[in-house]
Amino acid sequence: MKTRTLGKSLEVSAIGMGCMGLTFGYGPATDKSDGINLIRAAAERGVTFFDSAEAYGVENEEMVGEALAPYKGKVVIATKFGFRNGNTKDGLDSRPERIRLVAEQSLKRLKTDVLDLFYQHRVDPNVPIEDVAGTVKDLIAEGKVKHFGLSEAGVDIIRRAHAIQPVTALQSEYSMFTRDTEAEVLPTLEELGIGFVCFSPLGKGLLGGKIGESTTFKEGDVRSTLPRFNGEARDANARLVGLIAEIAKRKNATSAQIAIAWLLAQKPWIVPIPGTTKLHRLEENIGGANVELTDNDLKELGDLLAKQPVQGARYNEQMMKTVNR
């Protein structure tokens, strides 16, 4: 597995593993032993970057911590703070005392002495970003955190935070189907030397090519509430993925691998973190790092996306209120 550098010095595998879906967001949680085995399978295949969060449930950090204990010092584990009581339904909470509490709890659950990358999960409009960055700066000085990150933050917040404590990485949704960060956020990250970690690089599964007219979602799967996955929008998006798959076939790849390769081709400081609960999907995702897209390939994909853009918003109205502040 090739590596990439986030910020000035955080070296990670070119493709990371998003661990959210093991316990949160996509229906019932994965059995703990199965989750541990999958995370370790990723590590054995060269993945060194793993993403968790308090909001994914206590069991998520515990699963990640137990799975990666044998790889201590060889992997980078990211986690996040920012929700009241660690529950996305309870609203935002990035007060300094809350950040400190989450850090202590995450250290224990992840079985580590220091948090490699500590993100603010969502921007809290009730707490000045200077206070957030200053608190993480203190945690870094105390040796409890190595790197500071933001998630779904806009340009103003990024600049203000970076002025207090250098931001190593921004984590936001980015894929061939979600490109709103390209106009202002990506140029800002490049200017400031901040890495970009892309969650949902496969469009929450759409770009995997298995979602279509007959797809039903399990209870608790957030996609059942998202405009992009319902009705005519879902069907149109499935047809678009089919066209991407035709390009993929010529490259001896899958549509998911093309989606990952497309992200890697955008900037050398972009790192996608696809998630999965299945070993064969994990191996497919990792294979995306080996797909080389030529300038002609990128132009063909760009022309296709311009001609037939994705249909439907990525989030529902309530969820959109917390992003790109």
Assign 5 to helix, strand or coil. Answer: strand
**Catalytic residue from among 26, 56, 119, 174:** 56
The partner residues of 147 in beta bridges, in order of sequence, read 117
Gyration radius (Cα) of the chain, Å: 19
**Closest to 17 in 3D by CA, of 44, 58, 61, 52:** 52
CA distances to 61, 147, 171 from 144, rounded to whole Å, are: 16, 10, 21
Residue 48, both tokens = 């060194």
> String of b and e for 54-80 (b: at least 16 CB within 10 Å)?
bbbbebbbbbbbbbbeeeeeebbbbbb
108: burial class by Cβ within 10 Å (0-12, 13-18, 19+)?
Answer: exposed
The CA distance from 323 to 154, in Å, is 8
Residue 71 designated active-site? no
Residue type at position 65: G
CB distance 267 to 236 below 8 Å? no
**Closest to 140 in 3D by CA, of 182, 168, 180:** 168
Beta strand pairing status for 76-81 and 115-120? parallel
214: burial class by Cβ within 10 Å (0-12, 13-18, 19+)?
Answer: exposed
**Closest to 136 in 3D by CA, of 99, 170, 163, 107:** 99
Positions annotated as catalytic residues are 56
